[in-house]
Structure 1
Amino acid sequence: MSIVLEAHGIRKQFPGVLANDDVSFDLKKGEIHVLLGENGAGKSTLMNVLYGLYKPDGGEIRVNGQAISMSSPRDAIEHGIGMVHQHFMLIPVFTVAENIMLGMESVRGLALDEKVVAERVRELSRDLGMELDPNAYVHDLSVGVQQRVEIVKALYRKAEILILDEPTAVLTPQEVEDLFKIMHDLTNRGVSIVFITHKLKEVLEVADRITVMRGGKVVGSTTPSEISEAELANLMVGREVSLTVDKAAAQPKETVLEVSNLRVLDNLGTVAVDDVSLTVQAGEILGIAGVQGNGQTELVRALTGLARVSGGSIRLDGQEVANASPRRITELGSAHIPEDRQKDGLVLPFPVMDNLVLNTYYLPPFSQGLVVHWDRALENANQRIEQFDIRTPSAMTHVGTLSGGNQQKVIVARELSRPIKLLIASQPTRGLDVGSIEYIHGQIIKRRDEGVAVLLVSTELDEVLQLSDRIAVMYRGKILAVVPAAEATKESIGLLMAGITEKKPA
């Protein structure tokens, strides 16, 4: 197979960080080349250089053997390179067709010719086996369908090289399988794909070749037939990594969280949490399994004071907190690792220091009356950065510039660095690499063993099975069953997640 894209000796420096250090990489026609590495390894930086979003400080880029200068995404598009970013670049209030033609508008006279574009989108998406409604508004589409819009948008621009940056981070298992099928269909048509990820099982399932990055450098290249999952993990992290959770039997004590007949409506006014009752005891982890969109998000938002409760009761350490403010729930000893770290967990333009005291800045030792002691906040930040291995140039670095894994560590450090009775962890390792997952799992188990009640919500079934002491399965807003983790299997929980109880649909 001929080489369609080459990077030679790419170097990219940011203040305090050498993100790419003499990196070389190539892509062959019709292959899926996986770029694997921890969060912050330099994968996305390299691809942003190849897509023209960053100008390299050194090195050379070649497309089909020809050296090119890449100064903007427009240059990349002109050379047949398309990119689907981890956080989609779509305008929610625009239609699918409007988003796809943005920057390449089709006009008739002085007006946009949306009819021609809509028909082209229909043909292209139907041809690729992922039919889209060109007139649908993006804000009405699921995450998986939005990703398809991004792929079609790149192919509409005649991309022959497709860069997918962490494409499975926000997808359900079913959507991941659909994406892999689409990827194989595209490579069969001659499209070449760079697939950026840190999920080892996906790498071995989908890759033709694998390049591993660590600390801004390429540390190895291989193929799935030549390497095991454990060896990949070790190469990626630079040390031996445990892929299983090591924990002793739980020692549950008193009930910390008691939910009775809870009813919560979603943003459209329909019932999302339907008569849910559950308890979580000190010293245990109750895992909630379920396909995304079955009420887990609304349940967590109600438990943390971010959504209104329309019926039922929530008692935290014996006190009623249904419809209480997030601050009151926090002050009663609840910690929250949110599903969407950027929307609900961090203030992205603020420094790491500020984000580490978002829910305690008004309390001693950080405040005295109206005076905030920023020197103490800075001292706290430096301690947490070291304790939780947050990789940042300094405590004053804007948290939005950190990798996803380090953003998550900021939240974990903030939530677990104060006395707590309840930890609500929603998708705590979504989008994280194997090293960060190992670390956060260890922190959750540590808090359980210290007597904290833990409510874990995850769409990663392996994570629920490994961490939980009991497992509750949500389906269409209801708890279908609660089973001891020791008695649960992937097959039995998977059936419940599909709404099948005793071989009958729920």
Structure 2
Amino acid sequence: MVDVSTRPPLAPGTPPILQLRGIGKFFPGVIANRDVDLAVWPGEIHALLGENGAGKSTLMNVVTGIYQPEEGDILLDGYGQVFNSPQEAIRAGIGMVHQHFKLVQAFTVAENIHLGWDEAPRLVSARAMEERTRAIAEQFGFPVRPDARVSDLSAGEQQRVEILRVLSRRARLLIMDEPTAVLGPEETRELFRALRAFRAQGNAVIIISHKLDEVMEISDRVTILRGGRRIGTFDTAACTPAMLATTMVGRDIIRQNMRTRPPGARPVSASPIMGLRNVTIRDARGVESLRDVSLDLHGGEILGIAGVAGNGQRELAGVLTGLLKPAVGHVLLDGTEMERIDPAIFAHAGVGHIPEDRLRSALAPSLSITDNMALREYATPPVGRRGLYDSTAAAMLARGIAQVAHVTIPDFAMPVRNLSGGNQQRLVARREIRIAHRVLVAAYPARGLDIGAIATMLSYLTELRDQGVGVVFISEDLEDLLNVSDRIGVMFHGRMMAVLDAAEADMATIGLLMGGRDPSSLPMGRDGS
């Protein structure tokens, strides 16, 4: 193992806040971690990197008491510790914000903040909880709606609640799994300011991230895992994004402009394959979450959608896939209005959907991998025959999807939640691509993926484009959007601010539109939205 890092300047004899010695964690047929050493010192932000399935989240789940290690020791401030639950870990000063949200969907934001909190009053009114939540949100700079139900929030808004829930408990070691995956640029800057202030008080942060530029900006040291083992620990100042990427995956990663179409690719269709006309969506309170949106999607093009999370992207994806019925306006397929808004009808018409939250919307976590891969085809041959479910055909389908997704699975009968987030995402993507004969709506498909897997995911989208499929690609990563999109629509407060030709767009212009700038002086796309 390589260790070319230095620790922060500390008083002699100061132990690490957290030290791991020889940690091993195993699942049936899988070595998640083996012989992992790690030291995290007071006053540092420590990044943990690795490919999907490298064991990062599992290692942190061991630290926080979700899993128990089969091998090794955990030391906190120099003393051995055994955490049998996350509650024990948080009482010891270790808090974790998970990549997959741990919130109670039926509760309000305020109720989730106070749930399981030792300092929460035993008898407190809803109004008092909301006031306490509002004060916490203002303290840490994360605006939330205390009275909103979590089930009504976007992924980005739920992430803010997760972060606030841990910060409010005064953890000394804060572990964050992909914390900026659903945050916009300004929200990310606010988070980083809060983390630096947290570090300045002598606390420590562990960040699991695949965003190498952010790792370079925020971290002091970096530890890289590969195949469940520690490859090395490095001072961030001595690293480059290219070096980190190469060390993570064991090979060079070359990013290239993917807008260029190869010979033989289908041209962009003259007529739209799908369209929206003056569509408005209202939530249960009557608030417009999508406002008078019109757009056209052509076959053989990638229409990118940019915007800070919570500005109508989820509702746009829902309308395009039949999950949400417009309060006003129409959905068109091949120029004909869809009379019934139903996801099964849209799927039968060849519309695939990679949703923004795979565990909440794309997968049944407790069901087997095989069952999850057959979800979209259980009623059609060969999986479904005359109303009967063919388990053998379903197993063959699942193996075929895993093969093309390059996901190694030791047991297809195990719950899909046992897979890493990245492998779950790859399987969902390949499952949806199978039915996306005409349209694929991909909402944040690269979220939580490592740099190599992101390149693979983007290649999925361009392959569909070249086959003549219309692709809607929703993302907050402007570099990825500019890299693959033909046009880019920008959303703000539920409105489509503008649709730009990607070849002429730039990050500064898109950023201004994301902030609500009047687009009247900016060039429009083909549909003039």
Q: TM-score, normalised by structure 2?
A: 0.87
Question: Using the alignment, how far apart are the partners of 2:286 and 2:394 within structure 1?
Answer: 41
Aligned residue number for residue 350 of structure 1? 367
1:72 aligned partner, one-letter code: S
Question: Using the alignment, how far apart are the partners of 1:345 and 1:296 within structure 2?
Answer: 16
Mean CA deviation greater in 258-267 or 25-34? 258-267
Indicate conservation of the 8 Å contact 2:113/2:161, yes or no: no
Aligned residue number for residue 208 of structure 2? 196
Aligned residue number for residue 402 of structure 2? 385
Mean CA deviation greater in 493-502 or 187-196? 493-502
Structure 1 position 208 matched with structure 2 position 220: yes
Indicate conservation of the 8 Å contact 2:358/2:425, yes or no: yes
2:239 aligned partner, one-letter code: I
Mean CA deviation greater in 470-479 or 117-126? 117-126
Give 3-state SS (helix, strand or coil) of 1:298's partner: helix
Structure 1 position 304 matched with structure 2 position 321: yes
Mean CA deviation greater in 253-262 or 112-121? 112-121
How far the C-alpha of 1:212 sits from its partner, in A, is 0.6
In the TM superposition, 1:289-438 aligns within 5 A as 289-321=306-338, 323-418=340-435, 420-438=437-455
Stretches of 4+ moved more than 4 A in 1? Answer: 105-108, 111-126, 131-138, 502-505
Mean CA deviation greater in 46-55 or 483-492? 46-55
Indicate conservation of the 8 Å contact 1:97/1:134, yes or no: no
Structure 1 position 469 matched with structure 2 position 486: yes
Q: Per-residue CA shift, 1:439-461, capped at 9, x if unaligned?
A: 11011101101111111122222
- Specify whether residues 121 and 222 from structure 1 end up closer, same or farther in structure 2 by C-alpha distance, changes over 3 A only: same
Question: Using the alignment, how far apart are the partners of 1:320 and 1:102 within structure 2?
Answer: 49
Structure 1 position 68 matched with structure 2 position 81: yes
Question: Using the alignment, how far apart are the partners of 1:78 and 1:273 within structure 2?
Answer: 42
Structure 1 position 152 matched with structure 2 position 164: no
Q: Per-residue CA shift, 1:50-78, capped at 9, x if unaligned?
A: 12221111111112222233333344334
Structure 1 position 178 matched with structure 2 position 187: no
Question: Using the alignment, how far apart are the partners of 2:98 and 2:320 within structure 1?
Answer: 32
- Specify whether residues 417 and 179 from structure 1 end up closer, same or farther in structure 2 by C-alpha distance, changes over 3 A only: same
Q: Per-residue CA shift, 1:335-388, capped at 9, x if unaligned?
A: 111122112211111212122221211111222212222111111211211111
1:285 aligned partner, one-letter code: I
Aligned residue number for residue 58 of structure 2? 45
Aligned residue number for residue 282 of structure 2? 265
Indicate conservation of the 8 Å contact 2:142/2:164, yes or no: no
Question: Using the alignment, how far apart are the partners of 1:186 and 1:209 within structure 2?
Answer: 16
Indicate conservation of the 8 Å contact 2:108/2:146, yes or no: no
2:274 aligned partner, one-letter code: L
Q: Per-residue CA shift, 1:269-320, capped at 9, x if unaligned?
A: 2222222221111111111222222222212111111111122222213432
Give 3-state SS (helix, strand or coil) of 2:247's partner: helix
Question: Using the alignment, how far apart are the partners of 1:291 and 1:196 within structure 2?
Answer: 21
Aligned residue number for residue 245 of structure 2? 233
Give 3-state SS (helix, strand or coil) of 2:222's partner: strand
Aligned residue number for residue 297 of structure 2? 280
How far the C-alpha of 1:211 sits from its partner, in A, is 0.2
Structure 1 position 96 matched with structure 2 position 117: no
Indicate conservation of the 8 Å contact 2:17/2:40, yes or no: yes
Indicate conservation of the 8 Å contact 1:296/1:457, yes or no: yes
How far the C-alpha of 1:88 sits from its partner, in A, is 4.0
Question: Using the alignment, how far apart are the partners of 1:372 and 1:196 within structure 2?
Answer: 40
- Aligned alpha-carbon RMSD (Å): 2.9
- Specify whether residues 370 and 93 from structure 1 end up closer, same or farther in structure 2 by C-alpha distance, changes over 3 A only: closer
1:316 aligned partner, one-letter code: L
Q: Per-residue CA shift, 1:410-456, capped at 9, x if unaligned?
A: 11111112460111111111222212211110111011011111111
- Specify whether residues 19 and 245 from structure 1 end up closer, same or farther in structure 2 by C-alpha distance, changes over 3 A only: farther
Give 3-state SS (helix, strand or coil) of 2:32's partner: strand
Mean CA deviation greater in 65-74 or 171-180? 65-74
Question: Using the alignment, how far apart are the partners of 2:163 and 2:198 within structure 1?
Answer: 13
Give 3-state SS (helix, strand or coil) of 2:168's partner: helix
Give 3-state SS (helix, strand or coil) of 1:154's partner: coil
Mean CA deviation greater in 439-448 or 341-350? 341-350
Structure 1: stretches of 5+ with no match in the other structure? none
How far the C-alpha of 1:145 sits from its partner, in A, is 3.8
Give 3-state SS (helix, strand or coil) of 1:424's partner: strand
Identity of aligned residues (%): 38
Question: Using the alignment, how far apart are the partners of 1:87 and 1:418 within structure 2?
Answer: 26
Tell me how many residue pairs correspond in the alignment: 500
Q: 2:68 pairs with 51, 55, 62, which one?
A: 55
Q: 1:16 pairs with 15, 22, 29, which one?
A: 29
Q: TM-score, normalised by structure 1?
A: 0.90
How far the C-alpha of 1:499 sits from its partner, in A, is 1.8
Structure 2: stretches of 5+ with no match in the other structure? 1-9, 523-529
Mean CA deviation greater in 370-379 or 23-32? 370-379
Indicate conservation of the 8 Å contact 1:106/1:114, yes or no: no
Q: Per-residue CA shift, 1:464-486, capped at 9, x if unaligned?
A: 11110111222233222222111
Indicate conservation of the 8 Å contact 1:353/1:378, yes or no: yes
Q: Per-residue CA shift, 1:172-227, capped at 9, x if unaligned?
A: 22221111110000111111111122221111110000001111111121122212
Question: Using the alignment, how far apart are the partners of 2:134 and 2:334 within structure 1?
Answer: 55
Question: Using the alignment, how far apart are the partners of 2:202 and 2:214 within structure 1?
Answer: 21
1:319 aligned partner, one-letter code: T
